[in-house]
Structure 1
Amino acid sequence: MLTTHPFDDDKLREECGIFGVYGAETASAMVALGLHALQHRGQEAAGITSWDGEEFHTHRAMGHVAGNFDNDEIIRQLAGDIACGHVRYSTTGETALRNVQPLYADLSSGGFAISHNGNISNATNLRRRLVREGAIFQSTSDTEVIIHLLARSRYRTLLDRFIDALKQVEGAYSLICLTPEGMIACRDPLGIRPLVMGRLGDAIIFASETVAFDVVGAEYIRSVEPGELIVVTQGCEIRSHRPFGESVRPRPCIFEHVYFSRPDSVLDGNSVYAVRKGIGAQLALESPVEADLVIPVPDSGVPAAIGYSQQSGIPFELGIIRSHYIGRTFIQPGDKVRHLGVKLKHNANRALIDGKKIVLIDDSIVRGTTSLKIVQMMREAGAKEVHMRIASPPTRHSCFYGVDTPERGKLLAHKMDVAQMAAYIHADSLAFVSIDGLYRAIGETMRDDDSPQYCDACFTGDYPTTLTDFDDMAEINQLELLHERVV
């Protein structure tokens, strides 16, 4: 099957996007619109849960928001002025309806629905403990661990039980939860995954990105702070809690600026589009090259390519044309047809490229398969020279915080140095923006090695939290390797 982005088998993918509304007459319809705006964060499945003051209503489905939530009857069934939703790309748990969020459970305090962006890095250990204690899981999602911890907490109030549950989990999470008492929105103490708060009339809205506010006409208020827990109750009363203290320096995900967030979003006070142009300008300063054209790899390479062009003075041109009309069900019966299928989605602008020295700008290199195909496409279109510039440092390490990253051994930059990577993709030259250059584009002077301002573990290997599950796996793998050598 040809996916929506045939080159994107070589892209890092976000796990999901979340959106919640409290106090709007058509809450579920507004959530559906918000999820449309966040569709880029997850295309596997979507779900919405609402609360009408007496009971919860849920609809979850595989596939895109469009086609599942553009039905008036479905929206009418999701009654109530409070609702939350989720778009999913799985990093943990199988691709199945039982893992589609919001997840819902009937607790002693009443119904509880949860939407989660991120990844709990000790979920496997917690799950084993909970199962030994008698818990019965209904999904394979790491998010369900939070529900069971909440249900088993001995604290009296729902809020205290929820906080007790969160204090037992590691990793990254931005959450929107529905309860009979109101809506809860929170962010992990390091703020790894994003979450913002807005207002539309009297309604309070939470979303993964500000672009979702633009779509529904809401006003952006501020980001939910790292480690902050916000409770919205009757009358849209807002209460902010700091259950984790304020001693930890935040480490938001730097790749949100590079690729994940939509360019028309504002992240941590910065225009994502402006940051990406700035990264391109840094690339031009750090890795200049004599060329005739600067060409973006669509669509994510466009802002950085504009920045590179403006800084270098080399003309910007659309040398790769992308078709937006290829669906997700194009059948590929063999390798030859599969290769032709890629050309249906992206095709070289041959008349522009023939005989030219070109600079290709892309956001990242993961396995290297995408870059290899693109360079080959440019050669076949007659490019005289093909130079590749990447708007992020080399991706040498796996992410464990809600991004679907290949295991480290499959990352091209883990296996090769830059010169070897250039030879592998058949480029005349290859260069990446430096880690300090990336920080400068975001507004920092450079990376603070003693206390980094962002989570940049995929580039540096500097993980900001413990990785209980994955450390255990590493120990098991080491034991297996030792066993193999002894045998």
Structure 2
Amino acid sequence: MKKEACGLFGIYGHPEAARMTYFGLYALQHRGQESAGIITWDGQTIREQRGMGLVADVFEERHLGHQLKGSVAMGHIRYSTTGASLIRNAQPFKVTYKGMNLALAHNGNLVNTISLREELENQGTIFQTTMDSEVIMHLVAKYMNGGTPEEAIAKACSRIQGSYSLLFMVNQKLIAVRDPWGFRPLSLGRVGDAYVLASETCAFDLLEAEYLRCLDPGEMLVIEDGRMMSHRFMEPAEKQSSCIFELIYFARPDSLVFDQEVYNARKSMGKILAQECPCDADFVMPFPDSGVYAAVGYAQESGLPFEACMIRNHYVGRTFIQPTQGMRDFSVRVKLNPVKSMIKGKRVVIVEDSIVRGTTIRTRVKQLRELGAKEIHMRVSCPPIRYPCYYGIDFSSKGELIAANHSVADIGRYLGLDSLHYITIGGLLKAVRGPENFCLACFNGAYPVLPDEGVGKLSLECC
């Protein structure tokens, strides 16, 4: 399973800000399932509740109805991409500095954390967590003397490199920031008189909020006293580098991301796959849920029937009790189970969104063989992943990427397939608007921002 680091939600000027944030995070749960947190401001006091696990497990009615008071709130859900998953690393991250309450929520990953952390520690800074996000907070505090919070945040952001969408709560202010490369999404909306911010627009839909726009790269929004002001804290990078994996895999299909409909982008990827590599088969099927929408596009373009032959168990959670060692592949089979009568003697085209390590797919293909599939072909709606990602996806070393070390033909044999085709980079770019604005580093090794030396071995947390 691929992991992407974190989801953000913020709201300003709503009488039930904490409850709205809870539902916003609930809609974004797919972006992180390790921890969740909400911070509120009632004009005098900042309050917080954080915990490990899913949103529904961390928050209770007593938190939303009584403890988390205030009309300003922001929340965070988290996947760590390296290192341990610990409560001290849960966000939003809150500190008090010279009588001012500061809170931060971060989606992304800094690539110069090592050098900045060393610099700050040499100056006497004591770190409480292993998150790269804490580096940002210390930089903000460092630049706070004699200036406004907005100026301090802008100076801090001028020092950091990498991917970051940020929410800050500074007493009564709610501040949103998006990095000048535009790696991670952050959208603005409105519900009634309240402004809302979220990593994806599916959070707005649940709250019946109006989508206004996506924040621009290098933009800072400041909301205070019901007024919103936009600042250009940094000029956008010469080449925008939005993460194309948001459209391939991470975002919910009912979201707008980078002002593009995720559902239609994935269908287009499937259609282009069918044009690039048609297949003589009996039907097209996905491995739910990731390959469903590309499979729909492939089926429509190819004229082959679409069959949902793999049934997902929607009640498998993180606390599922693992079986004994003798029950091999149980954790894979408990999530997806095939409709046996549909498989025997059939020529099947499986559409997947990506192949990272290949171990899970290999198990599922083996299961279909054992059920009597005559032929198994696979079409993949993203190109081979050959290079590590340093901007917030959990394949941070080349050794764990099957396509980095093996040819497509070798991968097909390893997976037990009759044929395997990945969409070409050119084909993928045809499926999205503004193809020049996307980061393709995990496919071609062209990194928009170079990381610190040794960052692949970094033991810090990304958020």
What is the TM-score when the length of structure 2 is the normalising length? 0.96
Partner SS, residue 84 of structure 1: strand
Residue 432, structure 1, aligned to residue 422, structure 2: yes
Question: Among 261, 266, 276, which residue is 1:271 paired with?
Answer: 261
What is the letter of the counterpart of residue 163 of structure 2?
A
Q: Distance in 1 between matches of 2:396 and 2:450?
A: 20
Aligned match of 2:446: 462
**Which residue in the other structure is 1:239 paired with?**
229
Q: CA shift at 1:333, angstroms?
A: 4.4
Distance 1:68 1:334, change over 3 A: same
- Give the match for residue 217 of structure 2: 226
Q: Could you tell which deviates more after superposition, 159-168 or 401-410?
A: 401-410
Task: Output the CA distance in 1 between the equivalents of 2:147 and 2:60.
Answer: 41
Deviations 1:151-197 (A, max 9, x none): 11245222111111111000000011101141000100011000000
Match of 1:464, as an amino acid? P
Q: Deviations over 1:424-456 (max 9, x none)?
A: 101000000111111101135xx6xxxx42011
Instruction: Give the Å deviation of 1:326.
Output: 2.1
Provide the C-alpha distance between the structure 1 equivalents of 2:129 and 2:325, rounded to a whole number of angstroms: 35
Correspondence for 1:199 among 174, 190, 195:
190
Q: 1:316 aligns with which of 290, 300, 306?
A: 306
Which residue in 2 is equivalent to 1:410? 400
**Aligned match of 2:203:** 212
The separation in 1 between residues aligned to 2:236 and 2:273, in whole angstroms, is: 36
> Measured at CA, do residues 342 and 311 of structure 1 come closer, stay the same or move farther in structure 2, by a change above 3 Å?
same
- Note the aligned Cα RMSD (angstroms): 1.5
Instruction: Find 1:421's aligned residue among 411, 420, 425.
Output: 411
Match for residue 169 of structure 1?
Answer: 160
Q: Identify which range, 404-413 or 98-107, moves more after superposition.
A: 404-413
State the SS of the aligned residue for 1:468. Answer: coil
Cα distance change on mapping 1:323 and 1:473 into 2, 3 Å: closer
Question: Please, which runs of 5 or more residues in structure 2 have no aligned partner?
Answer: 459-463
Judged with a 3 Å threshold, the aligned counterparts in structure 2 of structure 1 residues 270 and 109 are, in CA distance, closer, same or farther, namely same
Distance 2:396 2:169 in 1: 33
Could you tell me the TM-score, scaled by structure 1's length? 0.91
In 2, Cα distance between equivalents of 1:202 and 1:72: 26
Contact 2:111–2:455 (Cα < 8 Å) also in 1: no
Task: Give the stretch that moved more between structures: 342-351 or 221-230.
Answer: 342-351
Q: Secondary structure at the match of 1:403?
A: coil
Does the CA-based 8 Å contact 2:396-2:456 persist in structure 1? no
1:217, distance to aligned residue in structure 2 (A): 1.1
Equivalenced residues, count: 457
Equivalent position of 1:5 in the other structure: none
Hey, which bits of structure 1, 4+ residues long, moved more than 4 A?
Answer: 471-474
- Aligned-partner residue type, residue 414 of structure 2: Y
The corresponding residue for 1:52 is: 42
Q: Match for 2:251: what amino acid?
A: S
1:402 positional shift: 1.2
For residues 71-470 of structure 1, what are the structure 2 equivalents within 5 Å? 71-108=61-98, 110-153=100-143, 154-234=145-225, 236-246=226-236, 248-444=238-434, 452-470=436-454
> Is the CA contact (8 Å cut-off) linking 2:36 and 2:51 kept in structure 1?
yes
Report the 3-state secondary structure (helix = DSSP H, G, I; strand = E; otherwise coil) of the residue aligned with 1:79. coil
Deviations 1:288-307 (A, max 9, x none): 11000101010010000000
Deviation at 1:37, TM superposition (A): 0.4
- For structure 1, which runs of at least 5 residues remain unmatched after alignment? 1-10, 475-487
2:215 aligned partner, one-letter code: V
1:37 aligns with 2:21: no
Aligned partner of 1:65 in structure 2 is 55
Q: Contact 1:41–1:88 at 8 Å: present in 2 too? A: yes
CA gap of 1:247–1:299, structure 2 versus 1, over 3 A, is closer
Cross-structure match for 1:22: 12
Between the aligned partners of 2:54 and 2:150, the Cα distance in structure 1 is 33
Counterpart code for 1:219: E
Q: Percent identity?
A: 46
Q: Which SS does the other structure have where 2:118 is aligned?
A: helix
Counterparts of 1:428 and 1:247, CA distance in 2: 44
TM superposition shift of 1:258: 0.1
| Equivalent-residue separation in structure 1 for 2:166 and 2:76 (angstroms) | 10
CA distance in 1, matches of 2:237, 2:218: 10
Deviation of 1:334 after TM superposition, in Å, equals: 2.9
Over residues 372-414 of structure 1, what are the superposed CA-to-partner deviations in whole Å (9 max), with x where a residue is unaligned?
0121111112110000110100011111111111511110000
Other-structure match for 2:461: none
- Shift in Å, 1:273: 0.5
Cα distance between partner residues in 1 of 2:217 and 2:67: 35
Q: Read off the aligned partner of 1:172 and give its amino acid letter.
A: S
**How far has the Cα of 1:20 moved from its partner?**
0.2
Superimposed CA distance per residue, residues 320-362 of structure 1 (whole angstroms, 9 cap, x where no aligned partner): 1111122322322433324234222211111111110000011
Q: CA deviation at 1:249?
A: 2.7
Contact 2:19-2:64 at 8 Å conserved across structures: no
Q: What SS does structure 1 have at the residue aligned with 2:55?
A: coil
Query: How far apart are the structure 2 equivalents of 1:472 and 1:267?
Result: 28
Q: Does the CA-based 8 Å contact 1:322-1:347 persist in structure 2?
A: yes
